[in-house]
């Protein structure tokens, strides 16, 4: 996927529906030339409005479909605009369940115009079975007490902080939003289960001894729907360092109203124990806590108590940065 990008947010019914595009605009602003809306769009990224033709003229290479909806379908209302983007010379990338390539009009337009369609949720690559072979370079993985708590943001904040401190670091994306931000990656929950750890070994391969790959985690070892994905990712990443992500106001595991969250210390211990299989020296750097739903006055005391309890740094990446986590690197 080539940047710069035009961010298509279609007829997003609220800001949340455009969160994929928002992530790219937040973390790679220099690669985003503009946004494209349809009538009725209720989201805004705070960047220039550009037509496909104007974006192409300004140097855009790819239009990202940065709007989500229930079911992950490509709305028929978007087809004409996506075709116009292709005809303006842009590639198009989507992370939705339904493939761009499965819409005949879009497949035909791409073929006619010699443009690429990227369905990043559907890996086209063949992966090998994981080997567990120790490999050079260092890796950090974000893990979590649950899904959808900020593992991607924590990883991106860590990459940025490492680079600010002069460390060589690369974010490695394992989900659709992350892949848009990085420009590449593997949508790990769409990989055939036998090849999950092998796909992660491919994603963060041999590197220079002091180089850090900062790998985006998925799911939770304590989520009964997705723990297998999380474990394969943990083993394949072979992490030297973990960051545990947590959202303190959540009452149950995402999507499962009867399922309590794990004890945080137990969750840290279980992740470390599992990670030691492929990297016996793994360490827990600390917690990245998403405190956006806590009252301002509660945040400090909550993090202090957690830190006293767990004995590692506990920060909100968006409020405090992740400097204290990076300082704890091995």
Residues at the interface with its own copies (CB under 8 A): 70-72, 97, 128-133, 188-194, 196-198, 221-222, 224-233, 235, 255-256, 258-259, 270, 273-274, 277-278
* Nearer to its own copies (CB atom), residue 233 or residue 289: 233
CB of residue 59 to its own copies, shortest distance in Å: 35
CB of residue 138 to its own copies, shortest distance in Å: 18
* Nearer to its own copies (CB atom), residue 260 or residue 301: 260
* Nearer to its own copies (CB atom), residue 114 or residue 257: 257
* Nearer to its own copies (CB atom), residue 166 or residue 280: 280
CB of residue 74 to its own copies, shortest distance in Å: 14
CB of residue 31 to its own copies, shortest distance in Å: 28
Residue 310 to residue 59: CA distance in whole angstroms: 49
**Under 8 Å between Cβ of 211 and 202:** no
CB of residue 194 to its own copies, shortest distance in Å: 4
Phi/psi for 114 (5° steps) reads 65, 35
* Nearer to its own copies (CB atom), residue 85 or residue 231: 231
**Under 8 Å between Cβ of 201 and 130:** yes
Residue 8 to residue 5: CA distance in whole angstroms: 9
Element (H, E) at 177: helix 176-182
Residue 72 to residue 119: CA distance in whole angstroms: 12
Please count the CA atoms within 13 angstroms of the CA of 92 that sit on its side-chain side.
Answer: 32
């Amino acid at each position: 996927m080539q940047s710069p990008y035009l961010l298509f947010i279609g007829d997003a019914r609220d800001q949340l529906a455009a969160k994929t595009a928002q992530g790219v605009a937040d973390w790679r602003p220099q690669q985003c030339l503009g946004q494209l809306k349809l009538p009725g769009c209720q989201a805004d990224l705070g960047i220039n409005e550009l037509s496909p033709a104007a974006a192409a003229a300004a140097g855009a290479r790819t239009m990202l479909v940065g709007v989500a909806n229930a079911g992950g379908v490509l709305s028929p209302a978007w087809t004409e605009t996506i075709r116009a983007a292709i005809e303006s010379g842009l590639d198009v990338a989507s992370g939705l369940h339904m493939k761009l390539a499965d819409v005949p009009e879009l497949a035909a337009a791409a073929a006619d115009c010699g443009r690429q369609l990227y369905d990043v949720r559907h890996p086209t690559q063949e992966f090998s079975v994981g080997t567990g072979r120790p490999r050079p370079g260092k890796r950090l993985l974000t893990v979590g007490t649950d899904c959808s708590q900020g593992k991607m943001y924590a990883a991106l904040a860590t990459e940025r902080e490492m680079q600010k401190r002069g460390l060589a670091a690369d974010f490695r994306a394992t989900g659709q939003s992350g892949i848009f931000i990085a420009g590449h990656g593997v949508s790990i929950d769409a990989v055939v289960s036998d090849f999950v750890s092998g796909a992660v070994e491919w994603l963060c391969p041999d590197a220079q001894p002091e180089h850090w790959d900062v790998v985006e985690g998925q799911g939770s070892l304590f989520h009964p729907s997705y723990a297998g994905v999380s474990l394969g990712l943990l083993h394949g990443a072979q992490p030297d360092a973990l960051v545990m992500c947590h959202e303190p106001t959540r009452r149950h595991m995402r999507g499962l109203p009867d399922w309590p969250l794990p004890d945080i210390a137990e969750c840290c211990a279980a992740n470390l124990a599992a990670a030691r299989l492929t990297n016996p020296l793994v360490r827990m750097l600390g917690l990245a806590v998403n405190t956006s739903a806590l009252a301002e006055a509660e945040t400090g005391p909550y993090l202090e108590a957690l830190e006293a309890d767990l004995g590692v740094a506990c920060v909100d990446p968006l409020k405090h940065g992740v400097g204290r986590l990076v300082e704890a690197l091995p």
